[in-house]
Structure formats: C-alpha cells, structure tokens
Chains A and B, each alone.
Chain A
Amino acid sequence: MELKLPPSLTTKQDLTRVHRELQVFNDLSLQSVMRHDKPVKYPAISDSLREVAVLNQIDLRQENACKKLLDGLEVLKEKAIIIRISFSSDPPEEILQKIVIWFRKEIDQHIVIQVGLQPTIAAGIVLSTPNHQYDFSLRQHLYKNRNKLIEAL
C-alpha cells in the first residue's frame, strides 16, 4: 500500500505519534467489538490521524483497512527518508508544512523532516540529507560573496 502523507505530518515524531494513536484506536475499537458494544465505541482521533485517513481514503472503522494503515505507517516509520533542516529560530508549523509539501512534490512523497536550530546562521536554512549537507544560510551566502564584501570594504 502506497500511503500518502498529509502536510501536517511533517516529522518522524508526527509519524510515530499517529502510528501509536492508530494502534490505540485499533485496540480500543477491537475491544469494543469484542465486548459487543452496540454501537461499537470508537475513541476520538486527532486531526492528523483523520487527515491521514481521509487522504488515503481509509475507513478506520474497518479492521483490515486500519490494519493496513498501521502496517504502512510502521513501514514509513522505519524507512521514511528523513531530511534534517536547521533554522535560525523555531519555525512556525505552516512554514514547515510548505517546505514538506515542496519536498514531497519534488523529491519524494514520503519524506519527513527533522527540525534543528542553529541561531548562528541568521537567516536561511541548513539542509542535511543522509549523504550531504546544503548550506542555504545567510552566512554561506556572505561567505560565497566575500569578494564583493572585500571590494566594498
């Protein structure tokens, strides 16, 4: 099953949290079914889990579908590509989502990010892939253009 991830699931922690929530949801639902509750009692779910379910068109009340989603999230938890992005300050959620959307659209749809803080970069980001690091910070920009700075000085 090829899972689609909503923009709200930006980090690996989000994946883990949704996976755990779905597991609890599944357990509680199963327990309610086994108790023959009428109607079956489903616990409340978070917006993130709901978005995952909606995006992947999964009815969480169906045990098999729920099980597949759990497996898919389990796989993603282990194998999702993680990109570390360092900011100069704590980024707002919408910024992270925009960046994640771009990555999932342009690079890989299962990418999650790990947010870091580097106040010294002043502006921009420092991007770390599993094999490489890309410095898109103001510091690097200044360093690349130091000849112009020397001329200006």
Chain B
Amino acid sequence: MKSWSIIIAAILLLAIIAVITWYFFLRSKPKTKKAQPSQLLSTTAEKDVERIFNDEFREELRNRGRLHFEKIIGENAMFLQQDLRLTTSQLNDYMKDEIKRVLQEEFSKYEESITTAKDQALDTIQKTQEVIEQQRLVLEKQMNEEADTQKAHIIEHFDKNMADIINHYILAAIGEEIDLTAQLDYIFQYLEENKEAILQDIKSGA
C-alpha cells in the first residue's frame, strides 16, 4: 500500500513540475504573434483539466486505487492461501500414498524374504532331521548288529569254555580227592568203546 501511494505521489509531483515548467516557458516568450485557436483550445483544456483533476479528486482517486489494490491483493492472497492449502493437502495425500506404497512394497519384499528364509530354514531343518534320522537308523542298526555279534560271541565263548570253566571248578573243588582207582571202570569203558579205533590206529601207524 505504501509503495503504491509513493508511486502515485511521485507521478503527480512530476506532472506538477511539468505544468509549472511549461507555464514559465510559455509566459516568458514575447507575444510577437497572435495566439492561434488551437493554442487557445489547448490552454482552455489544460485549465479545465486542472480544474477537474484538482487535489481532492486526485486524493479520492488515490484512495480508490489503494482500496481496489488492497482488495485485489487480499483476494489474491486468499486464492493463494487456498491454493497453498489445497496443494499442501494434495501433497500430503500424495506423500501418504507414496510412503504407504513404498512401505507396502518394502514390507511385501520383506515379508517375501522372511517367507523365503523361513521356507529355506524349514527345508534345511527338515533335511537335517531326515539326515539325523537316517544316521540314527544306521547307528541303531550298527549298534544292534554289534550287540548281536557281541552277544553271539559271548555265548559262543561261554559255550566253548563252559566245559573248561566247570572242569576248573570241579578240579578246584574235588580235584585232589578223585581216586584213580575209582576212575578205572570209566577209563576201561572208554577204552573198550574205542578199542577198534585204537587198534586200527596202531596197526596203520606201525
């Protein structure tokens, strides 16, 4: 507002200076010739202009112009404010949508990655479990075979040496008390049973 007032005041000041200058130049010239009608007309018009556009009228024009200018400025400011609000709102919506979209994409990727990793982990765990189960079965089979072999070996060893073990205990218990005379019948019985074999053996050996 202030700048417009200063501008209008400057224009009016220049107009006044122009009028004064023109007046002094025209009045100082010698009136050698008779005034022309066109000159009179213009002079008259200038006077009328001066009369019509006096200071009050100019002040009123300035006030009207200032008000109109303020009104336009206010309207534009209001439009600008509305545009700014609308733009801000749209920008907010846009940013919200963009952020939401980007976040959804990222979350989708993240979820997909998590799902993939989870599937891989489950797959790995399942394979590991299968391998462990297979190894367990193999080990169980080996252990059972080893246990069976050991058991059979122990039983075989026991069977093989049982006679010796019992013989050892009999010997330890009554070995010193067995009379050879009492064994003679037993010995002769065996000799009789194997007589032919002994005979054949000695004949063939001799």
**Which of B171, B176, B191, B199 touches A102 (beta carbons < 8 Å)?**
B191
Q: B160: shortest Cβ distance to chain A, in Å?
A: 9
Give Cα A110 to B31, complex, Å.
Answer: 206
Q: B144: shortest Cβ distance to chain A, in Å?
A: 24
The residues in A between 71 and 102 inclusive whose CB is less than 8 angstroms from any CB of B are 81, 83, 87-89, 91-92, 95, 98-99, 102
Give Cα A107 to B197, complex, Å.
Answer: 10
Whether, in the assembled complex, B178 has its beta carbon less than 8 Å from a beta carbon of chain A, the answer is yes
Q: Are A95 and B167 in contact (CB under 8 A)?
A: no
Q: Are A149 and B180 in contact (CB under 8 A)?
A: no
The residues in B between 117 and 145 inclusive whose CB is less than 8 angstroms from any CB of A are none
Whether, in the assembled complex, A15 has its beta carbon less than 8 Å from a beta carbon of chain B, the answer is no
Binds B, one of A2-10, A43-51, A59-67, A135-143: A135-143
* Dominant SS among interface residues on chain B: helix
Give Cα A136 to B180, complex, Å.
Answer: 13
What is the interface size of chain B, counting residues whose CB is below 8 A from a CB of the partner? 31
Q: Are A102 and B188 in contact (CB under 8 A)?
A: yes
The residues in B between 153 and 196 inclusive whose CB is less than 8 angstroms from any CB of A are 159, 162-164, 166-168, 170-171, 175-176, 178, 180-181, 183-184, 186-188, 190-191, 194-195
- Chain A residue numbers with a CB within 8 Å of B60 are none
Whether, in the assembled complex, B1 has its beta carbon less than 8 Å from a beta carbon of chain A, the answer is no
Whether, in the assembled complex, B30 has its beta carbon less than 8 Å from a beta carbon of chain A, the answer is no
Q: A108: shortest Cβ distance to chain B, in Å?
A: 6
Q: Are A95 and B181 in contact (CB under 8 A)?
A: yes
Q: Are A119 and B202 in contact (CB under 8 A)?
A: no
Give Cα A127 to B166, complex, Å.
Answer: 22
Q: Are B199 and A107 in contact (CB under 8 A)?
A: yes
- Chain B residue numbers with a CB within 8 Å of A146 are 159, 162-163
Interface size grouping (class) on chain A:
35 or more
- Chain B residue numbers with a CB within 8 Å of A134 are 190, 194, 197-198
Q: Are A142 and B166 in contact (CB under 8 A)?
A: yes
Q: Are A130 and B190 in contact (CB under 8 A)?
A: no
Whether, in the assembled complex, A1 has its beta carbon less than 8 Å from a beta carbon of chain B, the answer is no
Whether, in the assembled complex, A22 has its beta carbon less than 8 Å from a beta carbon of chain B, the answer is no
Whether, in the assembled complex, B42 has its beta carbon less than 8 Å from a beta carbon of chain A, the answer is no
Q: Are A119 and B175 in contact (CB under 8 A)?
A: yes
- Give me the interface of B with A, judged by CB distance under 8 Å: 159, 162-164, 166-168, 170-171, 175-176, 178, 180-181, 183-184, 186-188, 190-191, 194-195, 197-199, 201-202, 204-206
Closest 6 CB pairs of A and B: A143-B163, A130-B205, A142-B163, A136-B190, A139-B167, A122-B171
With A92-B180, A95-B180, A129-B201 known, 9 other A-B pairs at CB within 8 A are A89-B176, A119-B171, A122-B175, A124-B187, A127-B191, A127-B198, A130-B202, A134-B194, A149-B166
Could you jot down 9 A-B contacts, CB within 8 Å? Answer: A88-B178, A98-B184, A106-B195, A108-B202, A131-B205, A136-B194, A139-B164, A146-B163, A149-B162
- Give me the interface of A with B, judged by CB distance under 8 Å: 81, 83, 87-89, 91-92, 95, 98-99, 102, 106-108, 111, 119-125, 127, 129-132, 134, 136, 138-140, 142-143, 146, 149-150
